[in-house]
Amino acid sequence: NAGVTQTPKFQVLKTGQSMTLQCAQDMNHNSMYWYRQDPGMGLRLIYYSASEGTTDKGEVPNGYNVSRLNKREFSLRLESAAPSQTSVYFCASSVNGVGGYTFGSGTRLTVV
């Protein structure tokens, strides 16, 4: 009964470093999402995947790439981290039906 699992929970990067945030869900959901949460900004959609094999840009995709590895996993990659990418990142999934999304517990990323 894990739901949506994100790793790592915390990360500090230097400007220019790269990293991949991992997300996996065990609910057989079709759709998966990456959001970032910043103070006073609410949640903003970075990328989403409506189904296995498809990905699309959200509101704030610049500086990020994603991979929908299989139905369970949806990763977010920062190729060259910038201080503006300091944020809390949430992965979510949805079955495509009623009930909204299930969120992971978040990854707190600091870029120095």
Residues at the interface with other proteins (CB under 8 A): 4, 29-31, 33, 35, 40-43, 45, 48, 50, 56, 58, 90, 92, 94-106
Give whichever of 38 and 79 is closer to other proteins, judged by the CB atom.
38
* 55 vs 75 by CB, closer to other proteins: 55
Measured from the CB of residue 82, what is the shortest distance to other proteins in angstroms?
Answer: 23
> What are the φ/ψ torsions at residue 39 (nearest 5 degrees)?
-55, 130
Nearer to other proteins, 19 or 43 (CB): 43
| Shorter beta-carbon distance to other proteins: residue 48 or 78 | 48
Q: Smallest distance from the beta carbon of 89 to other proteins, in angstroms?
A: 11
Q: What is the 3-state secondary structure of the chain?
A: CCCEEEECCEEEECCCCCEEEEEEECCCCCEEEEEEEECCCEEEEEEEECCCCCCEECCCCCCCEEEECCCCEEEEEECCCCHHHCEEEEEEEECCCCCCCEECCCEEEEEC
